[in-house]
Structure 1
Amino acid sequence: MRINCLFISCLLTLAACSSDTEKRLPILGEREPVEKTVDGKTVVDTIYQTIPAFSFINQDSSVVTEKNFEGRIFVADFFFTSCTSICPIMHRNMLKVYEKFKDNKEVGILSHTIDFKYDTPSKLKSYAEKLGITGDQWQFVKGTKDSVYTLAEKNYLVAVAEDKAAPDGFVHQGWFILVDKDKRLRGAYDGTKKEAVDQLITDMEILLEEYDEK
């Protein structure tokens, strides 16, 4: 978890510098240079880390996959409904994102529960209703422990774990991860801090403009 914290902190610094100076967000995560032939010439292209295919059940007991986010940028996070530490703060802040981009078809929010036993679809539904969430723009999803935990740590670079010594039985990081329409990581923000969430909103607008320019 300490390694992930350091890694994400470095990404945050890079993202802040890039968005301030170039008005274009960096592409985060692992990357691999590959050679290909274009018009008879060998050129080097870059393959970036992306969010893979997934399938979860949401608060309405419907299947949600990566296809639900086609043509959208989205913000992902990890939480659980009985959390008494950072989750309430995170989702009060995420409400600002929801309200800012409400009904924008190019924007989605994807919250993964890490409590694979307790957080049934009905629990997620009650949680969403308490937040005042309607429609399908903000999805609250559950999956198996392996599917969610692996996705968090390998693809979103967010540490999550069961921990009987923790007050609520789980520990996790409060990052909001910004993903572009090509499923690439474009930013990481501390969901417990107002100024970081304000930066997220600014960066989402920058990212939408990037696609408008294409």
Structure 2
Amino acid sequence: MSRKKLIPALNKPSSFWRKNSGWIVVIGFISSLWGCGNSSTDKLPILGQREAVTKVVNGKEETDSVYQSIPDFKFVSQYGDTVTARTLDNKIYVADFFFTSCPTICPKMKVQLKRVYEKFKGNPDVMLLSHTIDPAHDSVAVLKEFAQNLGVTGRQWLFVTGDRDKIYDLGQSSYMVTAQADSTAPGGVIHSGAFILVDKEKHIRGIYDGTTEAGVDKLMTDMTRLLAEYKP
């Protein structure tokens, strides 16, 4: 499994931030670019890797960009049923990584994601997908109780568990966030506090600080912009 950290964890000690100050500058610069052009008519960028693919159309060569997308996956929700990428078909969704016993940033993240849930509750084009990174503890029953305690009902916000390595790999290689075990970290796990906005084609359209009100305000604004892209 790849250990490459594309987005630094937000619950790291100060020594981490000193060591990775270059990352912080780069991410801050990228965030400032995302903040440009707030008009509801502007399209959000597509993030991640892209590949140039050449094909012949009507006897002429044309080159298109194929963008990184979220691959298929198979996890189990708080209701005990199977959740795959197809569950999110024709939806925009927000993904995050957490664990129910997290002593640091997860409580802040869930307070903020609950705001997103309340704002878009009942919208058939929107879902939320929270992946536990401590599946040994976060069973289906634990996730169900956790969701109930948050006041989450229905299937618009799913909490999923599954094979730990597959969850970690999906977070790092596809969603571009850190998710891995670390015995030195609070709770024994390192993870990003990011919320990832994914469009109906499974492309990443934004990454936001899920621990702050400002970050989540930007996320909700961009969700509205993204929904507008699909209107006739």
TM-score range, shorter chain: over 0.9
| CA deviation string 1:80-103 (max 9, x = no partner) | 000111000001000110011001
* Structure 1, 163-172 or 1-10: larger mean CA deviation: 1-10
TM-score, scaled to structure 2 = 0.87
Aligned partner letter, 2:88 = F
| CA deviation string 1:40-86 (max 9, x = no partner) | 22111010000000110010111111111111000000000001110
2, 7, 18: which one pairs with 1:4?
7
Question: What is the aligned partner in structure 1 of residue 79 from structure 2?
Answer: 60
123, 134, 157: which one pairs with 2:142?
123
Question: What is the aligned partner in structure 1 of residue 176 from structure 2?
Answer: 157
1:105 deviates by: 0.7
In structure 1, the residue corresponding to 2:225 is in which secondary structure?
helix
Aligned partner letter, 1:203 = D
Does the 8 A contact of 1:111 with 1:139 survive in 2? Answer: yes
Report the aligned-residue RMSD. Answer: 1.7
Does the 8 A contact of 1:8 with 1:188 survive in 2? Answer: no
| CA deviation string 1:172-202 (max 9, x = no partner) | 1100000000000000000001011000000
- The verdict on how the C-alpha distance between 1:85 and 1:190 changes in structure 2, with shifts beyond 3 A counting, is same
Identity of aligned residues (%): 47
186, 192, 197: which one pairs with 2:216?
197
Does the 8 A contact of 2:76 with 2:160 survive in 1? Answer: yes
Question: What is the aligned partner in structure 1 of residue 88 from structure 2?
Answer: 69
Aligned partner letter, 1:157 = M
Question: What is the aligned partner in structure 1 of residue 66 from structure 2?
Answer: 47
* CA distance in structure 2 between the partners assigned to 1:188 and 1:169 by the alignment: 24
* CA distance in structure 1 between the partners assigned to 2:216 and 2:45 by the alignment: 17
* CA distance in structure 1 between the partners assigned to 2:39 and 2:177 by the alignment: 25
Does the 8 A contact of 1:11 with 1:28 survive in 2? Answer: no
* CA distance in structure 1 between the partners assigned to 2:41 and 2:30 by the alignment: 16
Does the 8 A contact of 1:152 with 1:158 survive in 2? Answer: yes
* CA distance in structure 2 between the partners assigned to 1:71 and 1:185 by the alignment: 14
The total of aligned residue pairs comes to 213
- The verdict on how the C-alpha distance between 1:148 and 1:121 changes in structure 2, with shifts beyond 3 A counting, is same
Write out aligned runs for 1:30-45 (5 A).
30-45=49-64
Does the 8 A contact of 1:4 with 1:159 survive in 2? Answer: yes
In structure 2, the residue corresponding to 1:52 is in which secondary structure?
coil
Question: What is the aligned partner in structure 2 of residue 92 from structure 1?
Answer: 111
* CA distance in structure 2 between the partners assigned to 1:10 and 1:37 by the alignment: 38
* CA distance in structure 1 between the partners assigned to 2:172 and 2:189 by the alignment: 15
- The verdict on how the C-alpha distance between 1:40 and 1:2 changes in structure 2, with shifts beyond 3 A counting, is closer
TM-score, scaled to structure 1 = 0.94
In structure 2, the residue corresponding to 1:197 is in which secondary structure?
helix
* CA distance in structure 2 between the partners assigned to 1:56 and 1:3 by the alignment: 23
165, 176, 191: which one pairs with 1:172?
191
Gaps of 5+ in 2: 9-22
Question: What is the aligned partner in structure 2 of residue 23 from structure 1?
Answer: 42
